Amino acid sequence: MKSPLNMGIGVGVVILMVASFFYKVSFGGEFIPSFGLWVAAWMTLIILSFLYKDNPFYKAAEHIMVGLAMAYFAIYYIFQVLEPRFYNRLVLNELQPGEQLFGSPEVFRWALIIPAILGCLMLTRIFPKVAWMSRWSIAATIGLGSGLAIPVTIQANITTQIRAASQLPLDYMTALHGNAEVMPGFTNVHLWQIGVPLLMIGTICGLMYFFFSVPHRGVFGYAATFGIWILMIGFGASFGYTVMARLSLFIGRVLFLLKDWLDWLPT
């Protein structure tokens, strides 16, 4: 907002927005729902204005979003986690049946002081002299996360995937016998017959590409090359899906403006 012209345009846009809202409300719209709709529409238009160029409205909206998102996250965590899991149990003594430690609900209740102390130690990061104490709570969080990650990732991403891949030969035999229902919604049995071996070989070759303990030469090199082709198909599919997801989000916003806000399209 450096030049008077830009300032004038900015003030004009704000006046236009406010005037248009009151114009709409004066024709029978209810105040609070209409106001919400109009605020949402203004926010949408302000963000879209960035497509022309960076401007103070967009910058303000950007900062509004950061403030709101942080506040929403904090409040959500307070009411969904700290209140039911900590405050209600420790301060209000509202324990569920079966919530006990070493056979005693009281031990369970008072043991909650330990995470509270560790949580408070995290706040020592604000004070440089005792900031080192925050490492204790960080260590607890990192340790819990790491300990949880080992069995969970092995189970979800290795054993489950191996189990699903082991099922493939059985599916392949079923497909060879002409049962097109082997994959829901997939009626072309020939494509499926090609797909099953490709899926098995593709997975193995993809893993071979990630195996760097052996030089990628000879037969191993060919397999790794095929693996990178398969990986490229995966990346291409992800890219295409991401673009279309963003596009559908954009269509959603345009429909919101045209249908909900301006009422130009039939509902």
Partner 1 sequence: MRRTVPLVITFIAGVAMIVSFFVNDGTVLSVASSKVKEWGIIIAGFAVVLGTGNIVRVTLHKAKRGEDRPFKIVLLVCLFATMFLGLFFGIDKEIRSTWMNFGMFEREYNPFYWIYFNIQLPLGATMFSLLVFYITSAAYRAFRVRSIEAGILLTTAVIVMLGQIPISSAIGADKVMAWIMVVPNVAAKRAIFMGAAMGIASMSLKIILGIERSYLGGDS
Interacting positions 86-145 with partner 1 (CB under 8 A): 86, 101-102, 108, 111-112, 114-116, 118-120, 122-123, 125-126, 132, 135-145
Site for partner 1 contains 243 (CB under 8 A): yes
Residue 222 CB-half CA count within 13 A = 3
Report how far apart, in Å, the C-alpha atoms of 138 and of each of 112, 120, 151 are.
17, 11, 21
Site for partner 1 contains 253 (CB under 8 A): yes
Least distance from C-beta 7 to partner 1, angstroms?
13
Tokens (6 digits) for 247:
């596009």
Least distance from C-beta 145 to partner 1, angstroms?
7
How many residues are listed for the chain in this entry? 267
Site for partner 1 contains 170 (CB under 8 A): no
Site for partner 1 contains 44 (CB under 8 A): yes
Least distance from C-beta 26 to partner 1, angstroms?
20
Site for partner 1 contains 48 (CB under 8 A): yes
Which of 73, 110, 127, 222 touches partner 1 (CB under 8 A)?
73
Other CB atoms within a 10 A radius of the CB of residue 34 amount to 17
Which of 22, 23, 76, 127 touches partner 1 (CB under 8 A)?
76
Site for partner 1 contains 209 (CB under 8 A): yes
Of 3-11, 21-29, 174-182, 251-259, which segment contacts partner 1 by CB under 8 A?
Answer: 251-259
Rounded Cα gap, residues 10 and 1, in angstroms: 8
Query: Are 121 and 133 within 8 A, CB to CB?
Result: yes
Rounded Cα gap, residues 16 and 246, in angstroms: 30
List of residues 6+ apart from 56 with CB closer than 8 A: 1, 10
Site for partner 1 contains 154 (CB under 8 A): yes
Residues of span 172-201 touching partner 1 by CB under 8 A: 183, 185-186, 188, 191, 194-195, 198-201
Least distance from C-beta 5 to partner 1, angstroms?
19
Buried b (16+ CB within 10 A) or exposed e, 52-76: eeebebbeebeeeeeeeeeeeeeee
